[in-house]
């Protein structure tokens, strides 16, 4: 969206929050400069952006909820530098760590 606007000499901050905030103002100010098709494409792209943000938020909520259940996730997340995503991914990928002979085998598998 920023690239499309930049082609028409309209610059927008890189921050998604700044873009969302200024988007209605940009459309209003450039009404005579941007074609109806361009405005429509920008609105469609912005709706897609909002949908992706909603999906990310929903996934993060699901991961946070999942994180509370298995104690193993919480133990792994307690390691410095390991967050929700990595902890849940490790538990999902590894499953029962007892299938590995020792910690070195697990580390080699990872």
Share of residues in the chain with pLDDT > 90 (%):
16
Instruction: Output Rg (C-alpha) for the chain, integer angstroms.
Output: 22
CA distance 3 to 1: 5
* pLDDT reported for residue 104: 92
CA distance 88 to 11: 40
Per residue in 48-87, pLDDT tens?
Answer: 989 999 999 999 898 888 877 778 888 888 889 988 888 8
Residues with Cβ within 8 Å of 12's Cβ and at least 6 positions away in sequence, in order, are: 1, 2, 5, 6, 18, 19, 22, 26
C-alpha pair distances (Å), 23 with each of 34, 37, 66: 13, 16, 36
Our measurement of the distance from residue 55's CA atom to the centroid of its chain's CA atoms, rounded to an integer in Å, reads 8
Share the mean pLDDT of the chain: 85
* pLDDT reported for residue 67: 79
SS3 content of the chain, % helix, strand, coil (to 5): 75, 0, 25
What count of residues does the chain have?
Answer: 110
Residues with Cβ within 8 Å of 14's Cβ and at least 6 positions away in sequence, in order, are: 2
pLDDT tops 80 at residue 94:
yes
Say if residues 26 and 10 touch (Cβ distance below 8 Å).
yes
Average pLDDT score over residue span 13-38:
82
């Amino acid at each position: 969206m920023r690239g499309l606007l930049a082609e028409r000499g309209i610059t927008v901050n890189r921050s998604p929050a700044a873009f969302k905030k200024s988007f209605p103002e940009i459309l209003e100010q450039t009404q005579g400069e941007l074609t109806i098709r361009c405005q429509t494409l920008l609105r469609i792209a912005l709706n897609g952006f909002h949908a992706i943000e909603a999906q990310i938020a929903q996934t993060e909520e699901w991961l946070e909820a999942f994180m509370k259940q298995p104690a193993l996730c919480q133990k792994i997340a307690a390691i410095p530098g390991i967050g929700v995503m990595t902890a849940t991914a490790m538990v999902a990928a590894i499953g029962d760590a007892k299938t590995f002979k020792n910690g070195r085998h697990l580390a080699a598998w990872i």
